[in-house]
Amino acid sequence: MVSDRLISLQELLTDLYEQLSGQEKAFLRAPDDDKTRIQQKIRDRKKEIQKFKREYWEQLRTEARSLKVPEVEAQTTITAIAQEVEAVEAEAIYPNEAMQILRQILAELQKPGTPASGKLKATLPLLPGLLGYEVELDTRGLLHRVFPPVRQLVGK
């Protein structure tokens, strides 16, 4: 069972990302005089998102230890994550450190003899390492590709 706080953080992050998207669109359409002000708002919104992401990951990491995941659901999630990680690895557009974390995740997911639920719980702490890369990289896109299977599983 997922805590109310984790659900609240998911909703909050969704709202903040929608706001960020709106601000980024406004920046593109804004006259030059307004761009600096909007850029500052975007920077502030990203800081706010980072704060809540950290809390989200800490909460998820804590709850993952006690989360009871049926083996079939865990295996389905593991398969989906592994496929996305392999696809991202093939693109090779991320820094070496991010790629190393992805390789660690893939190695954890492919360990023989470990139940899928155990692999999933071992993988969750590795994902926050990707969150430190922001600014120019499409880390948000990367996480939106790799993370949905975990979110679906935890949201059940």
- Quickly list DSSP for 81-145: HHHHHHHHHHH--S-HHHHHHHHHHHHHHT-TTS-HHHHHHHHGGGGGGGGG--TTS-HHHHHHH
Residues 90 and 56 in one domain: no
Contacts of 3 (CB under 8 A, 6+ apart): 59, 63
Residues 148 and 86 in one domain: yes
Q: Which is nearest to 118 in space by CA: 130, 104, 106, 108?
A: 108
Q: Which is nearest to 54 in space by CA: 127, 108, 142?
A: 127
Write out the two tokens for 71: 């083996």
Residue 136 CB neighbour total at 10 angstroms: 6
Q: What is the mean pLDDT of residues 123-134?
A: 46
Weakest mean pLDDT among 47-51, 108-112, 139-143: 139-143
Residues 48 and 76 in one domain: no
Coil, strand or helix at 7: helix
Coil, strand or helix at 10: helix
Per-residue pLDDT reduced to its tens digit, 72-119: 777 777 777 777 777 777 766 666 777 777 777 777 777 777 676 665
Residues 24 and 101 in one domain: no
Residues 44 and 18 in one domain: yes
Q: What is the mean pLDDT of residues 43-66?
A: 85
Range of the domain at 57: 1-66
Measure the N-to-C terminal CA separation of the chain; round to a whole number of Å. Answer: 8
Domain limit, last residue, from 44, 66, 88: 66
